[in-house]
């Protein structure tokens, strides 16, 4: 394919010459020129399976089709991609940028750009898909495809300072997992990052926040106005919200907790009472809890909830009323595999495992780790001295605390053969 629109590239798998999977295309890097000459495409930002984003020069690309990008034989530099001052991210920065159609002088918005292979084997941004902005209310006109030379495009300085929409960038993000959007947001310049954060709806932004490193979480939370920041904290999982608030100053922490609805802030306050490296600090206060007279069918319906992580859906906890944590007397748990083997009409009380050891909320991270290794589980109950279920610790929360700081950005910085 000698011409391809860049927004269609985002998310395409990247393969080596022998068909081995390398990662996925997340963006394209180009250099804008001071005149109206079509910008030269330098390479692609590729996200590896480890979520590290690397730069792959266009010289390494042997083919691009509708389903994949293939690289030539050679080594791939695994050093994390860092944008240079004269470079622009085509998806991250050029989409939604303002331009002017030279022939008519009409203002327009860049919807997409096409890159094309020239006779000299260079890739350039040869075409732009633009939508004319009509009238003061910026009504949306039809999309036109023009040569790059037919528009007055923004420069690097304009992209760094002029306000910019996010409609078309968010459409690229739409089908991506929250973890992938978080990685993309991290790579954007600060101005563009704030524009994206301001445009995402609260639920989606909360999911993205949960996948960001703590420093980025703090920066973006403090960028938001206080009311919206409190809304985001309410939409986050309580344990993730508690982890984030624990990183703030005491003044900021109390301010945000005061702005949250009480039913949302109470579980977070309980988690903040525990040290972050204990079972109480690691747990989520919202596991699946059922009464002993609930049928197996109800338990199976609850574990099918797509909003639950696989680890949290692996176990149902059986308690006396009340079912909200801290619950009534904890009776035991039912493993997902056991639920699948029992008749749907049977009561969960008939399948309860009463022998599985419980974690104390004061159990250290080392004790929690040994617990998971001993029992080969991915979820564990946290029960206090009065037999109340307080929450559940999942293995992903344990790994988050065992891995070194900055693990989301870590990875080898050597060259690997493609």
Distances (CA, A) of 258 to 77, 226, 262: 48, 11, 8
Phi-psi region of 96 (alpha: psi -120 to 50; beta: other; left: phi over 0): left
Residue that terminates a domain, selected from 159, 178, 200? 200
Quote the CA–CA distance of 272 and 210 in Å, as a whole number: 17
113/148 Cα distance (integer angstroms) = 9
Is the distance from CB of 321 to CB of 288 less than 8 angstroms? no
**What pLDDT digit, counting tens, does each position of 29-87 carry?**
999 988 889 999 999 999 998 888 999 999 999 999 889 999 998 777 888 899 998 89
Pair 61, 161 in one domain? yes
pLDDT score recorded for residue 373: 92
> What's the gap between Cα 56 and its chain centre?
22
pLDDT at 412: 43
Residue where a domain terminates, one of 242, 273, 304:
273
CA angle (63 as vertex; 58, 68 as ends), nearest 5: 105
Q: Are 83 and 46 within one domain?
A: yes
Does position 287 have pLDDT exceeding 90, yes or no? yes
Find the helix or strand (DSSP H, E) in which 160 lies. Answer: helix 156-161
CATH code, domain with 258: 1.25.60.10
In a domain? residue 416: no
59 and 167 belong to one structural domain? yes
Q: Is the pLDDT of residue 133 over 70?
A: yes
Residues 135 and 78 in one domain: yes
CB atoms within 10 A of CB 71: 21
The structure tokens listed for 94 are 């050029």
Distance of CA 194 to the CA centre of its chain: 15
Which of residues 406 and 283 earns the better pLDDT score? 283
Q: Has residue 137 got a pLDDT over 50?
A: no
Please tell me whether residues 298 and 354 are part of one structural domain. Answer: yes
**What is the per-residue pLDDT across 338-362, written as a single tens digit (0 to 9) for each?**
999 999 999 999 999 999 999 999 9
Task: Determine the pLDDT at residue 409.
Answer: 55
Q: In whole angstroms, what is the distance from residue 14 CA to residue 221 CA?
A: 34
Question: At residue 299, does pLDDT exceed 80?
Answer: yes
In a domain, 283, yes or no: no
Residue 111 neighbours by CB under 8 Å, 6+ apart: 95, 129, 130, 131, 143, 168
pLDDT at 255: 96
Structure confidence at residue 401 as a pLDDT band (50, 70, 90): confident
In a domain, 141, yes or no: yes
Are both 193 and 209 inside the same structural domain?
no
Q: CB–CB of 89/29 below 8 Å? A: yes
Do 238 and 104 share a domain, yes or no? no
In this structure, the answer to whether residues 240 and 164 fall within a common structural domain is: no
Q: Check whether residue 118 and residue 61 sit in a common domain.
A: yes
Final residue belonging to a domain, choices 200, 235, 264: 200
The residue-averaged pLDDT of 281-301 equals: 96
Residue 307 lies in a domain: yes
Going by C-beta distance under 8 Å and a sequence separation of 6 or more, which residues neighbour residue 273?
A: 280
The total number of structural domains in the chain stands at 3
Residue-number span of the structural domain to which 230 is assigned: 202-273
Model confidence at 135: pLDDT above 90: no
One domain, residues 249 and 214: yes
> Residue 39 falls within a domain, yes or no?
yes
Residue 52 lies in a domain: yes
> How high is the mean pLDDT of the chain?
91
**pLDDT above 50: residue 176:** yes
The Cβ of residue 106 has, within 10 Å, a number of other Cβ atoms equal to: 15
- The pLDDT assigned to 35 comes to 82
Tokens of 36: 């109206």
For residues 114 and 207, membership in a common domain is answered with no
Longest Cα–Cα distance of the chain, Å, equals 78
Whether residue 248 lies inside any domain: the answer is yes
- At residue 216, the 3 state secondary structure works out as helix
> What is residue 60's predicted lDDT score, i.e. its pLDDT?
92
Give how far Cα 158 sits from Cα of 100, 137, 164, 190, 404, Å. Answer: 13, 22, 10, 14, 38
Q: What angle do CA 246, 251, 252 make, to 5 degrees?
A: 60
**DSSP-derived secondary structure for 245-310:** HHTS-HHHHHHHHHHS-HHHHHHHHHHHTS-TTBHHHH-BS---EE-TTSBHHHHHHHHT-TTS-T
Lowest mean pLDDT among 50-54, 277-281, 300-304: 50-54
Pair of tokens at residue 357:
């050891």
Indicate whether 219 and 361 sit together in one domain: no
Higher pLDDT, 229 or 413: 229
pLDDT score of 415: 46
Is residue 41 in a domain? yes
Question: Can you give the CATH number for the domain in which 313 is found?
Answer: 3.10.580.10
What is the spatial distance between Cα 199 and Cα 167, in angstroms, rounded to a whole number? 8
Q: Give pLDDT tens digits for 92-125.
A: 999 999 999 999 999 999 999 999 999 888 999 9
């Amino acid at each position: 394919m000698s011409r391809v629109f860049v927004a269609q590239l985002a998310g395409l798998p990247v393969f080596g010459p022998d068909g081995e999977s390398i990662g996925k295309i997340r963006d394209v890097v180009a250099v804008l020129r001071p005149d109206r000459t079509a910008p030269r495409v330098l390479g692609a930002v590729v996200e590896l399976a480890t979520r590290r984003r690397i730069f792959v020069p266009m010289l390494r690309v042997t083919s691009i089709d509708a389903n994949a990008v293939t690289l030539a034989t050679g080594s791939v530099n695994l050093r994390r991609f860092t944008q240079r001052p004269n470079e622009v991210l085509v998806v991250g920065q050029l989409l939604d940028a303002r331009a002017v159609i030279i022939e008519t002088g009409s203002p327009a918005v860049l919807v997409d750009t096409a890159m094309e292979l020239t006779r000299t084997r260079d890739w350039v941004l040869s075409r732009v898909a633009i939508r004319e902005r009509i009238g003061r209310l910026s009504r949306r006109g039809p999309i036109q495809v023009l040569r790059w030379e037919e528009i007055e495009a923004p420069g690097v300085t304009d992209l760094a300072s002029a306000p910019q929409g996010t409609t078309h960038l968010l459409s690229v993000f739409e089908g991506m997992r929250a973890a992938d959007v978080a990685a993309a947001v991290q790579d954007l310049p600060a101005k563009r990052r704030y524009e994206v954060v301001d445009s995402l709806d609260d639920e989606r932004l909360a999911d993205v926040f949960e996948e960001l490193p703590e420093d980025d979480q703090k920066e973006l939370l403090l960028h938001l106005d206080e009311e919206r920041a409190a809304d985001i904290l309410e939409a986050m999982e309580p344990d993730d919200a508690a982890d984030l608030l624990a990183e703030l100053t005491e003044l900021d922490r109390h301010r945000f907790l005061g702005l949250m609805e009480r039913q949302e802030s109470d579980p977070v306050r309980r988690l903040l009472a525990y040290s972050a490296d204990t079972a109480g600090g690691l747990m989520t206060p919202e596991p699946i809890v059922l009464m002993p007279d609930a049928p197996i069918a109800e338990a199976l319906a609850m574990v099918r909830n797509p909003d639950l992580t696989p680890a949290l859906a692996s176990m149902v906890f059986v308690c006396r009323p009340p079912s909200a944590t801290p619950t009534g007397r904890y009776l035991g748990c039912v493993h997902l595999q056991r639920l699948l083997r029992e008749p749907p009409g049977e009561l969960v009380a008939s399948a309860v495992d009463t022998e599985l050891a419980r974690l104390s909320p004061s159990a250290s991270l080392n004790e929690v780790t040994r617990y998971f290794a001993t029992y080969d589980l991915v979820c564990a109950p946290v029960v206090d001295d009065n037999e109340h279920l307080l929450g559940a610790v999942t293995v992903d929360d344990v790994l988050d605390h065992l891995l070194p700081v900055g693990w989301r950005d870590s990875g080898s910085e050597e060259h690997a053969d493609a």
